[in-house]
Amino acid sequence: MTQNNHRHILLAIDSISGRGAEKVVVNLAEALLKLGHKVSIIIYEDIVEFDIDSRIHIHHLKPQIHKGSRIFSRFTDRKNANIFQALLSSIETMRGHVDLILSALPRIDRILSRIEDDRIFHVIHNPLSLQNGIRKNSWRKKLSRIWHMKRMYDDRQIIVVSAGIGDDLINYVKIRPASLKAIYNPFHFDEIEKLAAKPLNLPSKIIGKDYLLHIGALTLQQKRQDVLIQAFALSGLTCNLVLLGKGKDEKKIRVLIKKYGVSDRVFLLGFQANPYPWIKKARMLVLTSDYEGFGNVLVEAMALNTPVLSTNCPTGPREIFSVRMQECLVPNGNIQALAEKMKKFYASPPRIDKKNLNRFDATHIAKEYLKLIQ
């Protein structure tokens, strides 16, 4: 690659906390770096929970934080848009012209949607109608939330991480974007294999027993650990169930574990910076979400030859699985079906179509993003 072909990509996101969308941004940044490009990241909130290559420059926006009625947040958004543009100018002075700006997650999207700049693309990681309750709320709340989303995303350049999110955006949120393109999430498969090979010190209660694995934020509204725990209890399996993650509903989940009589077999082991040894040693990974933008852990598990089982979310998982792997899907919220499939897959794991994963390779995905540069 010649010097003339080097690009400078700016990624803007709420924070770099240990969650899915944030990990996607880190993966993309690393893939762009490996291709010889410069990468800068602007974060709204000064949180960095991943190890970041020192060649990737991270900048804190230092926004004005709005307190009070949301109707007045528009004034703060305008001020923060000015702060962003000043920071962008400073970054360009230090590192050269920015060719592409990718914005991810609502707080930073709200700010960048105030800026008219053809370099800006909003990357949407979740079906907004489900994340914001648009499908279930009363018509007043529904109209209010649709109006809020349209104010942000109408006439904007949109990237969605699955085709299903695009359908949701058009059909339920009524967004009319200037452009819409689906680009899947990027994965460094060699790095996943390397991290999976690191030693894993299992807790004494788990040593010597198979375990099923669930990874995700401990939030019942989306991840539905209540469905997972009920189905596990109903399955009659005598193995363990391990949940990795953190979140606001941890106490409620512990109550459910006790309620369904599986306290001796279900373990909440918190956020793991390197979950891959856990995935590699698991008998099966189970995802029970009501909705997912994509479903990163499904790809990661299959890459490590770990069988997977997932609810058939409106977006994400069904696009990840090839035609030959559709048996790995169960209807959303169907505890009986999930319990039966858990038991079936424990005894006879499904075949993993690893060739299907090549389309998620980080280098390939990074090149798809580079095509956005005019």
Q: What is the DSSP letter of 246?
A: -
Q: Tell me, what's the pLDDT at 2?
A: 38
Tell me how far CA of residue 46 lies from CA of 124, 166, 345, in angstroms.
Answer: 21, 30, 42
pLDDT tens digits, one per residue of 251-279: 999 999 999 999 999 999 998 889 999 99
Distance CA 336, CA 373 (A): 48
Q: Tell me, what's the pLDDT at 51?
A: 85
Which residues are paired to 187 by β-bridges?
Answer: 361
pLDDT tens digits, one per residue of 122-137: 999 999 998 887 877 6
Mean pLDDT of 41-62: 93
Distance CA 25, CA 28 (A): 5
Q: Tell me, what's the pLDDT at 70?
A: 59
Task: Provide φ and ψ at 83, rounded to 5°.
Answer: -65, -40
Mean pLDDT of 212-237: 96
Sheet holding 100-104, edge to edge: 57-60, 38-43, 8-13, 100-104, 120-124, 157-160, 179-182
pLDDT tens digits, one per residue of 80-131: 999 999 999 999 999 999 999 999 998 999 999 999 999 999 999 999 998 8
Confidence of residue 65 (pLDDT cuts 50, 70, 90): confident
Task: Provide φ and ψ at 51, rounded to 5°.
Answer: -75, 125
Tokens of 316: 């994400």
Query: Which of these ranges, 72-76, 92-96, 113-117, 323-327, has the smallest mean pLDDT?
Result: 72-76
Q: Tell me, what's the pLDDT at 3?
A: 43
Distance CA 266, CA 372 (A): 45
Task: Provide φ and ψ at 137, rounded to 5°.
Answer: -75, 165
Q: Which of 133-137, 206-210, 341-345 has the largest mean confidence?
A: 341-345
Mean pLDDT of the chain: 92
Q: In the predicted model, is pLDDT for residue 306 greater than 90?
A: yes
Tokens of 162: 């699955």
Mean pLDDT of 67-88: 83
Sheet holding 240-244, edge to edge: 266-268, 240-244, 211-215, 284-287, 308-311, 329-330
Confidence of residue 68 (pLDDT cuts 50, 70, 90): low
Which residues are paired to 94 by β-bridges?
Answer: none
CA dihedral of 73, 76, 77, 78, whole degrees rounded to 10: 130
Q: What is the DSSP letter of 45?
A: S
Distance CA 172, CA 160 (A): 15
Q: Tell me, what's the pLDDT at 227?
A: 97
Q: In the predicted model, is pLDDT for residue 69 greater than 70?
A: no
Residue 252: name the closest of 279, 275, 278, 223 by CA.
223
Distance CA 353, CA 336 (A): 26
The residues, any chain, with a CB within 8 Å of residue 328's CB and separated by 6 or more, are: 307, 308, 309, 310, 321, 350
Q: In the predicted model, is pLDDT for residue 61 greater than 90?
A: yes
Tell me how far CA of residue 309 lies from CA of 17, 28, 77, 286, in angstroms.
Answer: 26, 26, 41, 5
302 within 8 A of 308, measured Cβ to Cβ: yes
Q: Tell me, what's the pLDDT at 145?
A: 86
Mean pLDDT of 188-204: 92
173 within 8 A of 129, measured Cβ to Cβ: yes
Domains assigned to the chain: 3-188+360-370 (3.40.50.2000), 189-358 (3.40.50.2000)
Q: Tell me, what's the pLDDT at 140?
A: 73
Confidence of residue 139 (pLDDT cuts 50, 70, 90): confident
